[in-house]
Amino acid sequence: MVEKAQRNLSDRETLLVKRNFNKQEGTELTQLIDDLKNSSLRTDPELSRLEIKRAELEGELENMKAAINHRKSTLAQIPYAIIQTKQELLAKVREGRVIHSSLEDIPGSAEEDKQRIVEADAIQLEVLNAI
């Protein structure tokens, strides 16, 4: 019977030790839970700051994409602008040819101009000789 009493006492002590150990672990786990809750409160402002930064960067990225697309569109228009400018140049060249051929069609106009210049020079010479 003494052995049974000692065993019961030993079992009781073991259970008490286990209970105390579980109580200590429970306290530590509770503390860990509190620390984790508090850490999420501390990191929440950091998370908000990072999300704001991400939104800003995404906005910049969209602006950059729009600028790239605009530039590509502008570059794609260059061949058409060259064709249009060549057509305008060709029209000006044709117009110049028409004007040139029109000027050549006036017969003797240059000869008449030279004759009048000679006559004016002769009149000036007579006036100078008279003075």
Amino acid at 94: R
Q: Which domain holds residue 20?
A: 2-130
Cα 77 from Cα 71, distance rounded (Å) = 10
- Whole-number Cα distances in Å, 4 to 10, 38, 57, 69, 128: 10, 50, 75, 90, 163
The tens digit of pLDDT for each residue in 74-87 reads 999 999 999 999 99
Global pTM reads 0.42
Please name which of 52, 53, 34 lies closest in space to residue 42, comparing C-alpha atoms. 34
The tens digit of pLDDT for each residue in 30-72 reads 999 888 887 766 667 788 889 999 999 999 999 999 999 999 9
What pLDDT score was predicted for residue 69?
97
Amino acid at 93: V
Cα 114 from Cα 118, distance rounded (Å) = 6
Number of domains in the chain: 1
**Token couple for 23:** 């109580």
What percent of the chain lies above the pLDDT cut of 90? 44
